[in-house]
Amino acid sequence: MFRGVTGSEAIFDNANLYRSGFVGATMERASFAKADLRSAALSNAELSQADFSAAYLADADFSGARLQQARFRGAFADGAKFQNADLRDAVFSEAILNGAKFDGANLDRADLRGALGLTGWQVCSAKSHAGAQFDDSLARDVQAVCGNL
């Protein structure tokens, strides 16, 4: 649908983008606040500083996407795929992340405080999580699973 499109600072707030495709798109600083991106394909997209606040991201595929400083505040991201994504400095406060996949992702300095449904196993599957911020209970879980906070 939007494969390979370029649209920095584009606004998709409240849009119905269910099952849409943004594979390889370049959309820095785009806003998807409160958008429906369930089952959307956003793999290998450039989405640095994008805003996904309160977006519905269940089963969305962000594999290999560049999401540095992206905001996922309050997003519903159950089952979302962030494998091998660059999530440095991303904000996931109050996001719902049950079953989200972070295998091979870079979570360095990500703010995961207040994220719901996130486990130590999910965090430890990431390639790196240096400097990531956690609630105390998640920090203990990450320490127990990874042993290298």
The per-residue pLDDT for 147 is 77
pLDDT the model gives residue 149: 44
Instruction: Give the number of other Cβ atoms within 10 Å of residue 45's Cβ.
Output: 30
Please choose, from the candidates 42, 45, 49, 55, the residue with its C-alpha nearest in 3D space to the C-alpha of residue 12.
55
Query: What residues have CB less than 8 Å from 6, skipping those under 6 apart?
Result: 25, 26, 27
Which residues sit opposite 26 in a β-bridge? 6, 46
pTM tops 0.85: yes
Q: How confident is the model at residue 6 (pLDDT cuts 50, 70, 90)?
A: low
Which pLDDT tens digit goes with each residue over 60-112? 999 999 999 999 999 999 999 999 999 999 999 999 999 999 999 999 999 99
C-alpha 144/C-alpha 91 separation (Å) is 23
Six-digit token string for 50:
């994008």
Which pLDDT does position 52 carry in this prediction? 98
Instruction: Look at residue 148 and tell me whether its pLDDT is greater than 60.
Output: no
What tokens does 60 get? 């969305």
Q: What is the pLDDT of residue 21?
A: 92
Q: Which residues contact 84 (CB under 8 A, 6 or more apart)?
A: 63, 64, 103, 104, 105, 127
Residue 144 · residue 121 · CB < 8 Å: no
Cα–Cα distance measured from residue 114 to residue 102, given in angstroms and rounded to the nearest whole number: 17
Query: Do 27 and 46 touch, CB atoms closer than 8 A?
Result: yes
Q: What is the pLDDT of residues 35-70, one digit of tens each?
A: 999 999 999 999 999 999 999 999 999 999 999 999
- Domain map of the chain by residue range? 1-149
CATH number of 1-149: 2.160.20
